[in-house]
A and B are shown apart, each in its own frame.
Chain A
Amino acid sequence: EVQLLQSGPEVKEPGESLKISCQGSGYVFTSYWIGWVRQMPGKGLEWMGIIYPGDSDTTYNPSFQGQVTISADKSLDTAYLHWSSLKASDTAIYYCARRSWERDSSGYYYHLDIWGKGTTVTVSS
């Protein structure tokens, strides 16, 4: 079964660092991009960025550039989302999702076909 297993809930204080994880199984992890999505309490989905575990090529949403670091360890089939100094406004559920694709003569077309169950991050003093 293809799945993304995310790390458990976290409760942190402002200023602390944090790294959450997303481990893929049931497929070749290094062949698919992994994206990260934020969902603040009661709000919609926000795109944070994406990484290709095969070579760690990474693209960030400008709104999140410099606020988080996306990384991957292909030997562990795992992608990460890291904060060096958390803020209360980082309180949210964070999802990882696999970017899959279809192809025709015109090019490639993408979709997020597999999602993790989410990691709840609470930042409070």
Chain B
Amino acid sequence: SYELAQPPSLSVSPGQTASISCSGQTLGDKYVCWYQQRPGQSPVLIIFENNKRPSWSPARFSGSKSGNTATLTITGTQALDEADYYCQAWDTGTSVLFGGGTKLTVL
């Protein structure tokens, strides 16, 4: 079983805001990363250290964390954002926790 809990699915209309949560008892003192995985593709880092975006991640993606819950927010969701989203934290420097993933549908 996963130690980081995500909702299995979420639906959003184009142009609306999507918020995906990630909760875990040990998240309070950890930084959280988020990955996007489009169908048939490998995961792509979109948020690291709770709220930083790598250069390739569009500005509509943002992250936040409060206590033991992290949130990925997509503002102005587009059809191409339809994908699976995974949160991730480091248990130690070499041990990773993944959330179970959230399937985002844009309809």
- A residues touching B (Cβ–Cβ < 8 Å)? 33, 35, 37, 44-47, 50, 59, 61, 95, 97, 102, 108-113, 115-118
Contacts and interface: CB of A to CB of B under 8 A. Distances in A.
Interface of B: 2, 31, 33, 35, 37, 41-45, 48-49, 52, 54, 84, 86, 88, 90, 93-101
B93 A108 contact: yes
16 contacts: A44-B2, A44-B100, A44-B101, A45-B35, A45-B43, A47-B95, A47-B97, A59-B95, A102-B48, A102-B52, A108-B93, A109-B90, A111-B48, A112-B45, A112-B88, A117-B41
A13 to B, nearest CB: 26
B47 to A, nearest CB: 9
Given A44-B86, A44-B100, A102-B49, A112 B33 contact: yes
B94 A95 contact: no
A108 B48 CA distance: 13
